[in-house]
Amino acid sequence: MDIKQTFLWEAEELLATISEDLLDLEANPQDKELLNQVFRAAHTLKGSANLFGLSGVSQLTHALESVLDRLRSEELELEAGLTDLLLRGFDQLVRLIKAIARGQEDPQPIPELVEKLQELSSGRDRTHEILTSGILPAVDEEYLCRLKGTDWAEICYHYARGNKLWQIVFEPAANLFFSGHDLILYARSLAALGRLAAHGFYLPELPAWETFEPLSCYLRWQIILATGQEVTRDQLAAEVEFLAGEETEVKLAEFTPALLDWEIDGHLGEDVTFAVETQTAEFLGAIGEELVALEQERNWSPSLPEAVRKIRADLQAIAGKQTLDPLAARALSFLVSTLALIQGYLERTGADSGELPQWWPEFIEAVGKALAVLVTGKLEMALGSLVLDIIELCSLETDLAGTQEAHAVAQEIDVDFICRIAKQQLKYLAPTGEVDPARWPLAQRILLNCARALQDAEWEAVLSGSDPDLASLSDRIAVHGGLAKARSKLSNRAEIVAAVPANPKAVLREGLFAGGIDSQVTNTVKIEQEKIDRLMDLSRELVIAKNSLPYLLRKLNQGVEEQQMAKDLKEKHALFDRLARELQTIVMEMRMLPLSHIFGKFHRFVRDYSRQSGKQIRLQVEGEGTLLDKSIVEVLAEVFVHLVRNALDHGLELPAERLAAGKDSEGLVRLRGWRAGEKVYLEISDDGRGIDVERVKSKAVEKGVLSAQAASALSREAALQLIFHPGLSTADQVTDLSGRGVGMDAVLRTVERVQGKLQVSSEPGRGTAVQIEVPLTMAMTRVLQVVVNGKSYGIPSEQVQETVRLKPKEMQSMQGKTVIVLREQIIPVIHLAQFFRMDQREATGNYAYVVILKNGVGLRVDGLMGQHEVVIKPLDRGLAHLACFAGATILGDGTVLLVINGLNIRPEGDDSHEV
């Protein structure tokens, strides 16, 4: 571990401690020692940051330290607003440390936050004003760089109309969905205050489909909102501030006229010219000649698609050259897309087309001409001829219009040219100011392509009618065409910014999206010195044990008698066995984390929730030192966010309601953890209103889950189980806080993923408790080895209810499906050989074996081979999509055992499985 890594690790630890201490300090403001402790920790962090030249971390820590110093000298009081500000400051430090861990050199804090802290420490008497004003971040230029040309057109349009413009950026935590937030609802409440001028979604990294977890949040979202002048920043902040926390960031900023002027007339204001290297120009010239040859073709031939593909590949290679001017690269990219359109057409039509279409020579000539013009460096001309020619060709020729390639071409096209074409079409449609209906079909097709090219769904909607609405069409063109000069520059600039690596904004953007979201600062585990010492001892013992093996070998070579050798081997085996077990135990312990990793963060969570909701809440945590496997802790951390949120939002009542019910105004949420044998139990309970079972039942009936008659016959315990049914929520309305999160069904599935069980109990008026039981570790799993068609498979013993041996005739058929009747229960049976689509062999034994899983399904196998303790490794990416396998392991004799995930094997009739 290098020294900077050590710093990051220590910083993370210090910040976690500071956060906890600040919460304690809020409860005990007179505790001077605690305050000194926080101050010292901040001071240490600042010192280390200076050593590494981290000016951003140092500046923010210094500002926080100064405020803490004023608290120490009692010039400030630790009121709730100040605690909020300090916590936000330290949250910001956590983000800076994470950014450094992702590779950013010297990330800077939000200037506004630093300014507030500096002003607080300056001693000026504005404390109240500072603490009551918003502390959301300022404009984020890196995200502005992500906007498309069309977005800038909208922005300029609203700017010209005198609207205020705001940038809102959501950077959600991965567990956003578990906390019940739906960003669409936030966007809609923002939209109610104005109009969404533009928006964009960004993925730091596209997850592979096989590893994509739909309940994890990957996306970031930028919204540009246009509002009237009367809307204030505080109004908007009130809509979104609730989302901001340690892990989720929300940025809100107003576009200033200066910012827009800078974008319009700033450093990218000069006319853009470019030069193509001589060698590249020669190559392009040669390609132009090949195009001239293609232009002469009149009939389809098998070599034609290949010839176009080759030209396209050559152009693509040039477009990818780093030395190429970005605008030239963009024009080439446009040509490449155009050739892909032609190639796609040729491949689709195939040999049966015979003669090439009428537009062929014209189209190829347009591409060749554009290429020739490109070599001369006259980009505007190149784009002009291409756009006008190709858009019309794409629109007029039904063979090309609407294809994916045509769409790709459209996406390359410059906004201004499209607006110009659209205006031409309007003139064509209404030459005298009155619409000529006969011209509508043609104009509609071309305008639709323009709308699609600009990704303007609203325009597309206007065009979808059977009659043209000239006013609406003009209005949409005006949106893109208003502020023509500025927009023309901007749309080009946005592309240039995206393409020029030397551009500082582009570099910033790369920094922003480096690494994944919510990357851990360190993926390290703290290990006690005692365990390291024990590991060292064991490694020495292993070396000594290993040294005895050559001695045994020599004895064997000398012809020692078998009995003596067996005895010696047995002794050595016992020694290695002991060492292996001890090693395993210690290594397993190293994987263990205390439950405080799950429970710890809820002190802050509950405090913030309490301040925002007006509910009085006491959080009681017990057993947070209980150890549990790291991988299980990570999974359950998400589950508890949801469970705690549920308890706070649905369980606990407001103080008045509690008092009316004869309860203490302060509600209690209790988190407990304990170990019993090889299991660990975690429990969350509250003393709130409890689950209204009758409402659960009526919801279930309303959703068609069961009949009213069946619902009324359900016991309270059985009715409670209905909350695990997908899509069943009792929340009457979707609020900011809940009703839109993952359901309890997802929580249950997550718990089952770590081989856990979940139980819920609830009493009306007295509260609800959810208890989770998980294995101590997932590193070792017990599997039942079974044989199917001579091949061995494993089934996790956790999933097995029992095994039965039957005579083949006891297998019965019911509606074409195999079942067995066991203790008067019908159990569907899946023949694993059939499921795996193996050639079925004749059963040779007198008995059939059925492994009955806990989900009530039986798996028929040929034989049972006993149980083993194994380490299951996940299948690699090529096989990872096979949900019916949990992974694979290697047995003592070296054979690979595929371990079946019984929960993903379904009864016959479901043909969707691919094995």
Comparing CB distances to other proteins, the nearer of 352 and 914 is 914
Collapsing DSSP to helix, strand or coil, 92 comes out as helix
Among 210, 282, 289, 306, binds other proteins (CB under 8 A): 210
Q: How far apart are CA 897 and CA 893, in angstroms?
A: 11
Collapsing DSSP to helix, strand or coil, 299 comes out as strand
Comparing CB distances to other proteins, the nearer of 160 and 461 is 461
Comparing CB distances to other proteins, the nearer of 110 and 479 is 479
Closest C-alpha to 17, from 107, 90, 82:
90
Q: Which amino acid is present at 782?
A: R
All residues at 6 or more sequence positions from 640 whose CB lies less than 8 Å from its CB, including other chains: 598, 599, 602, 671, 682, 684
CB of 781 to other proteins, least distance (A): 23
CB of 746 to other proteins, least distance (A): 6
Q: Which token pair is 489?
A: 């520059």
Comparing CB distances to other proteins, the nearer of 210 and 533 is 210
Q: Could you give phi then psi for residue 496, rounded to 5 degrees?
A: -65, -45
Report helix angle 278-295 to 303-319, nearest 10. Answer: 160
For position 457 contacting other proteins by CB under 8 A, the verdict is yes
DSSP secondary structure letters along 450-491: HHHHTT-HHHHHHHTSSS--HHHHHHHHHHHHSSHHHHHHHH
Tokens 């107003």 belong to 254
Comparing CB distances to other proteins, the nearer of 493 and 725 is 725
In a 10 Å sphere around its CB, with 0-12 CB exposed, 13-18 middle and 19+ buried, how is residue 398 labelled? exposed
CB of 490 to other proteins, least distance (A): 18
Comparing CB distances to other proteins, the nearer of 340 and 776 is 340
For position 835 contacting other proteins by CB under 8 A, the verdict is no
CB of 206 to other proteins, least distance (A): 5
CB of 411 to other proteins, least distance (A): 8
All residues at 6 or more sequence positions from 900 whose CB lies less than 8 Å from its CB, including other chains: 793, 794, 795, 832, 859, 884, 885, 886
Comparing CB distances to other proteins, the nearer of 480 and 607 is 480
CB of 726 to other proteins, least distance (A): 6
Question: ∠252-175-700 over CA atoms, to 5°?
Answer: 110
Comparing CB distances to other proteins, the nearer of 410 and 829 is 410
Q: Within positions 397 to 436, which residues make up the interface with other proteins, using CB under 8 A? A: 404, 411
Size of the site for other proteins (CB under 8 A): 44
Comparing CB distances to other proteins, the nearer of 211 and 709 is 211
For position 448 contacting other proteins by CB under 8 A, the verdict is no
CB of 791 to other proteins, least distance (A): 22
CB of 727 to other proteins, least distance (A): 5
CB of 184 to other proteins, least distance (A): 5
CA distances from 97 to 11, 172, 801 (A): 7, 17, 48
Q: How many CB atoms lie within 10 A of CB 616?
A: 14
CB of 396 to other proteins, least distance (A): 22
CB of 455 to other proteins, least distance (A): 5
Among 219, 442, 875, 891, binds other proteins (CB under 8 A): 219
For position 218 contacting other proteins by CB under 8 A, the verdict is yes
Comparing CB distances to other proteins, the nearer of 184 and 525 is 184
Contact range with other proteins by CB under 8 A, out of 212-220, 261-269, 381-389, 611-619: 212-220
Comparing CB distances to other proteins, the nearer of 656 and 915 is 915
Q: How many CB atoms lie within 10 A of CB 10?
A: 15
For residues 461 to 500, the per-residue mask of contacts with other proteins, x marking binding by CB under 8 A and - elsewhere, is x---------------------------------------
Comparing CB distances to other proteins, the nearer of 578 and 881 is 881
For position 675 contacting other proteins by CB under 8 A, the verdict is no
Closest C-alpha to 141, from 584, 464, 505:
505
Alpha helix segments (H runs only) across 731-828 = 744-753
For position 458 contacting other proteins by CB under 8 A, the verdict is yes
Q: Within positions 737 to 776, which residues make up the interface with other proteins, using CB under 8 A? A: 740-743, 745-746, 749
In a 10 Å sphere around its CB, with 0-12 CB exposed, 13-18 middle and 19+ buried, how is residue 467 labelled? exposed
All residues at 6 or more sequence positions from 699 whose CB lies less than 8 Å from its CB, including other chains: 722, 728, 729, 730
Comparing CB distances to other proteins, the nearer of 201 and 674 is 201
Q: Which token pair is 532?
A: 């390291």
Q: How far apart are CA 713 and CA 286, in angstroms?
A: 83
Closest C-alpha to 69, from 40, 97, 44, 105:
40
DSSP secondary structure letters along 328-379: HHHHHHHHHHHHHHHHHHHHHH-GGG-BPPTTHHHHHHHHHHHHHHHHHT-H
Among 883, 890, 895, 896, binds other proteins (CB under 8 A): 883
For position 914 contacting other proteins by CB under 8 A, the verdict is yes
Q: Within positions 365 to 404, which residues make up the interface with other proteins, using CB under 8 A? A: 404
Among 727, 816, 866, 878, binds other proteins (CB under 8 A): 727
Closest C-alpha to 621, from 640, 644, 596, 641:
596
Closest C-alpha to 680, from 615, 816, 809, 773:
773
Q: Within positions 150 to 209, which residues make up the interface with other proteins, using CB under 8 A? A: 176-177, 181-185, 196, 199-201, 203, 206-207, 209
Comparing CB distances to other proteins, the nearer of 195 and 505 is 195
For position 876 contacting other proteins by CB under 8 A, the verdict is no
All residues at 6 or more sequence positions from 706 whose CB lies less than 8 Å from its CB, including other chains: 700, 714, 722
CB of 730 to other proteins, least distance (A): 13
Q: Which token pair is 790?
A: 């001579």
For residues 314 to 353, the per-residue mask of contacts with other proteins, x marking binding by CB under 8 A and - elsewhere, is ----------------------------------------
Comparing CB distances to other proteins, the nearer of 587 and 915 is 915
Q: How far apart are CA 733 and CA 609, in angstroms?
A: 19
Among 11, 217, 373, 830, binds other proteins (CB under 8 A): 217
For position 879 contacting other proteins by CB under 8 A, the verdict is no
739: left (phi over 0), alpha (psi -120 to 50) or beta: left
Q: How far apart are CA 639 and CA 174, in angstroms?
A: 13
SS3 sequence of 646-695: HHHHHHCCCHHHHHHCCCCCEEEEEEEEEEECCEEEEEEEECCCCCCHHH
Comparing CB distances to other proteins, the nearer of 153 and 374 is 153
CB of 457 to other proteins, least distance (A): 4
Among 456, 495, 649, 862, binds other proteins (CB under 8 A): 456
Q: Which token pair is 798?
A: 């956790």
Alpha helix segments (H runs only) across 482-528 = 484-499, 504-512
In a 10 Å sphere around its CB, with 0-12 CB exposed, 13-18 middle and 19+ buried, how is residue 407 labelled? middle
CB of 761 to other proteins, least distance (A): 23
Comparing CB distances to other proteins, the nearer of 190 and 328 is 190
Comparing CB distances to other proteins, the nearer of 384 and 516 is 516
Question: What is the contact surface with other proteins in residues (CB under 8 A)?
Answer: 176-177, 181-185, 196, 199-201, 203, 206-207, 209-210, 212, 214-215, 217-219, 404, 411, 455-458, 461, 726-727, 729, 740-743, 745-746, 749, 881, 883, 912-914
